[in-house]
Amino acid sequence: MKRKMVQLLLALALCSGLTVSARQEPKRPLILGIAHIAFQVSDLSKAREHYGELLGYDEAFQIRNQDNSLALTYFKVNERQYLEIFPGLPPDKDDRLLHLAFETNDLEGLRQYLLAKGVKAPDKVNQGRDGNLNFTVTDPDNHRIEFVQYRPGSLHTRAKGRFATSRRISDRILHAGLTVKDAAAADKFYKDILGFSEIWRGGRDEQTINWINMRVPDGTDYLEYMLVTENPTRQQLGSLHHVALLVPDMQKALDALRERVGDPTLIRSPQVGRNRRWQLNLFDADGSRAELMEPFPIR
């Protein structure tokens, strides 16, 4: 009888230990895809010509400072993805990328999860001036990575069904590129902790790996590691830190772009990338790159 009692107490203690352990290891909430990418610009009127007129995106809404000056403006790609443009780029600032944001279904849960994994996260989530919940962490390459949870009543939610012009050169952010010096360190953050998975890698030739594509765990968008060994120049940063926009028909997109600029020679010809997809690079006035890409490899 005494032996059975001891066994029962040991079993209960084991179960209790497992329960405590489970509470200490929260489950990662969903990471659904890219919510937005934010660039800073030196001339807002030129940025509007590029993102609004050339790429065809509606300026859906803005955030203003207390003195009514513009803090940032939002160009709508689709119901869940935006390009955020901030004015005030200093002349001596080389990096125009401010941050990259991913959407989650449970922001507080994700904060708790990151803390449990040893990631330095804020003490609480923040409600942004756009009405959504967000917080920001720093990845191993010191990029600001923001996580967003869309909320009822936010500017994004109220814009649903609006600002989706047929002039959009693309209605999908496919991926975003960030510089990575140490792929193994980046993997510890994006792969091991956040659950991203590698879907492709390639380079400028058969012997070199320059890019690694890492898909979000709960969607089809992906992050592109832009592998570097030294600090990039200002011009290189503008190309490496980029947004990729999916276009179903490159020729149709090319024709629309050349018609909008008036002088067809201002838009370079597309090229076939190492992934055997048609690609076309466009740069805003500050040198930030938007890459147009077809969805399927050429035959």
pLDDT for 17-75, tens place per residue? 544 444 567 999 999 999 999 999 999 999 999 999 999 999 999 999 999 999 999 99
CB 179 within 8 A of CB 229: no
**Largest distance between two CA atoms of the chain:** 93
Judging by DSSP bridges, how do beta strands 58-64 and 70-76 pair with one another? antiparallel
User: What are the structural domains of the chain?
Assistant: 31-158 (3.10.180.10), 173-293 (3.10.180.10)
Rounded Cα gap, residues 61 and 163, in angstroms: 9
State the residue for tokens 């940032």: 72
pTM of this structure: 0.91
pLDDT for 120-161, tens place per residue? 999 999 999 999 999 999 999 999 999 999 999 999 999 999
Lowest mean pLDDT among 90-94, 169-173, 196-200, 272-276: 272-276
Rounded Cα gap, residues 31 and 147, in angstroms: 9
